[in-house]
Amino acid sequence: MLNLVLFGPPGAGKGTQAEFLIDSYRLIHLSTGDLLRSEIAAGSSLGLEAKAFMDKGELVPDAVVIGMIRTTLAAHPGAGGFIFDGFPRTVEQAEALDRLLEENGTPISGMLSLEVEHQELVNRLMGRGLVSGRPDDQDVSVIENRIEVYNRKTAPLIGYYGAQGKHFGINGMGSIPEIALRLKETVDRLPR
Ligand code: AMP
């Protein structure tokens, strides 16, 4: 069983690299951003509540995303492992995830933390905004807020997983295949 946290600031390439990892290791991809955008597209009340936070680049409340993760984990009882993309984003979410996985007896194997320079993040997100149609990728002040929220609320998770000996920093600059190779070399060394 391989449970990976794919970590990094907005624009670090988590979604892109998750695609490679899913194929290589047959994991279930669990992106809270994708789940929230599906809720918005479906016009659910959860989606409506989340959209107000997402459009400003703020985090959706912990209880909402933890509830979504709980439901999705329960929907895949025989899974060979999960890749968590964009979750956890707060210490409270990380603690909730540890508790949920403990119930299943399958802890996090490692946190892969993509490291990318600030200006490169902004460039990538603005570039994605031209094609993704995502409102939060269109406006430079929302992009800067997302990075600021990451630094303040999410980056402390490096210490959280580091204390468990599970933090692996990965150079996230360079080409997509180069970064994919760095991730694979790290994952292949993880205990499972
Ligand atoms: P992402 O697709 O991961 O870039 O997420 C897009 C937006 O969805 C974020 O800016 C947040 O508003 C919201 N979001 C996604 N995942 C989480 C999470 N784990 N906790 C809180 N908000 C989240």
Question: Which region, left, alpha or beta, applies to residue 48 given φ > 0 means left and ψ of -120 to 50 means alpha?
Answer: alpha
- Cα 143 to ligand 1 centroid, rounded to whole Å: 12
What does the pLDDT read at residue 138?
94
Residues marked active site are found at 14, 89, 128, 134, 146
Using CB atoms within 10 A of its CB, is residue 63 exposed (0-12), middle (13-18) or buried (19+)?
exposed
- Cα 23 to ligand 1 centroid, rounded to whole Å: 23
Looking at the whole model, is its pTM more than 0.85? yes
Residue 57 CB–ligand 1 contact under 6 Å: yes
What does the pLDDT read at residue 78?
85
- Other C-beta atoms within 10 Å of 136: how many? 21
Please state at what angle helix 91-104 crosses helix 62-74, rounded to 10 degrees: 20
pLDDT tens by residue, the chain, 192 residues? 899 999 999 999 999 999 999 999 999 999 999 999 999 999 999 999 999 999 999 999 999 999 999 999 999 988 889 999 999 999 999 999 999 999 878 999 999 999 999 999 999 999 999 999 999 999 999 999 999 999 999 999 999 999 999 999 999 999 999 999 999 999 999 987
